[in-house]
Amino acid sequence: MTESSKRTFAHIDTWVFDLDNTLYPHHVNLWQQVDARIGEYIGNFLKVDPVEARRIQKDYYKRFGTSMRGMMTEHGVSADDYLAYVHRIDHSPLEPNPAMGAAIERLPGRKLILTNGSTDHAGKVLERLGFGHHFEAVFDIIAADLEPKPAPQTYRRFLERHQVDPAKAAMFEDLARNLVVPHDLGMTTVLVVPDGTQAVVREDWELEGRGAAHVDHVTDDLAGFLATLKASAA
């Protein structure tokens, strides 16, 4: 994709954000805690050792969008039990981010969160970050009928529920594969990547896609990127 063919932001009236590793820095590695809890849950449920639990976890994550969806489909687990277990983590590594809050507040139009996590987890994250009040709503895995991104029906369900015109919306995500459908629907897409200055716990495939045709923009500083958008529109 050439610079001139990338979608811009002048027409955007709805701003849609992923939660984990998007609205807070990758190097906080908060998701690493959830990742470990998922492995524990799978190991306990299937009565397998940690190595096999890890293999199953990552296989399901890649094939089903979330390990939870794989466990539900293949083993009939309860979504409520799963979510309660894996999100029982220490949120204290998260710190208030006034700069991010100010940048989000200045964006013209609506702000929404679209996450594969739960509203309970999102609420705790946003409380720690200190800018949850800028968002109109959180569309979580329960609202998605337990069908995670990147399932096309999840995005369509989100757009319908919140009456969002995708041609006037922007989507911010840390996984390039989760931007394919939004881009196909007409949304302007932004991939949020680690800043490279601190170690992050990610698999190689999770860091791919920066040059993909469905990624309009890439940033390693979301707050700075949003502030630049507002400045350029002024």
| DSSP strands (E only) in the chain | 14-17, 110-114, 137-139, 169-173, 188-192, 217-219
Same domain, 191 and 108: yes
Q: What is the pLDDT of residues 118-133, one digit of tens each?
A: 999 999 999 999 999 9
- How high is the pLDDT of residue 12? 96
Provide, rounded to the nearest whole percent, the portion of the chain with pLDDT above 90: 79
Asked if residue 110 belongs to a domain, the reply is yes
Q: What is the CATH number of the domain that holds 175?
A: 3.40.50.1000
Alpha-carbon distance 200 to 222, whole Å?
16
- How high is the pLDDT of residue 2? 57
Name the DSSP letter for residue 24. Answer: S
Residue 117 has pLDDT above 60, yes or no: yes
Domain that holds residue 214: 3-26+96-233
Same domain, 59 and 110: no
- How high is the pLDDT of residue 233? 47
Same domain, 19 and 36: no
Same domain, 66 and 153: no
Same domain, 100 and 7: yes
Cα–Cα distance list, 225 to 55, 96, 103, 114 (Å): 36, 18, 9, 19
Same domain, 52 and 14: no
Mean pLDDT within 181-188: 98
Report the number of distinct structural domains present in the chain. 2
Alpha-carbon distance 169 to 188, whole Å?
6
Alpha-carbon distance 129 to 137, whole Å?
16
Sheet holding 110-114, edge to edge: 137-139, 110-114, 14-17, 169-173, 188-192, 217-219
Cα–Cα distance list, 159 to 50, 62, 189 (Å): 39, 24, 15
- How high is the pLDDT of residue 32? 86
Asked if residue 184 belongs to a domain, the reply is yes
Partner residues linked to 111 by β-bridges: 15
Alpha-carbon distance 48 to 221, whole Å?
40
Same domain, 49 and 155: no
Alpha-carbon distance 112 to 2, whole Å?
29
Mean pLDDT within 179-190: 97
Single-letter amino acid code for the residue at 170 = A
* Confidence band, pLDDT 50/70/90 cuts, at residue 39: very high
Q: Who's near 81: CB < 8 A, 6+ residues apart?
A: none
Same domain, 112 and 10: yes
Q: Could you say which of 86, 113, 128 is where a domain stops?
A: 86
Asked if residue 42 belongs to a domain, the reply is yes
Asked if residue 127 belongs to a domain, the reply is yes
Same domain, 7 and 66: no
Same domain, 58 and 10: no
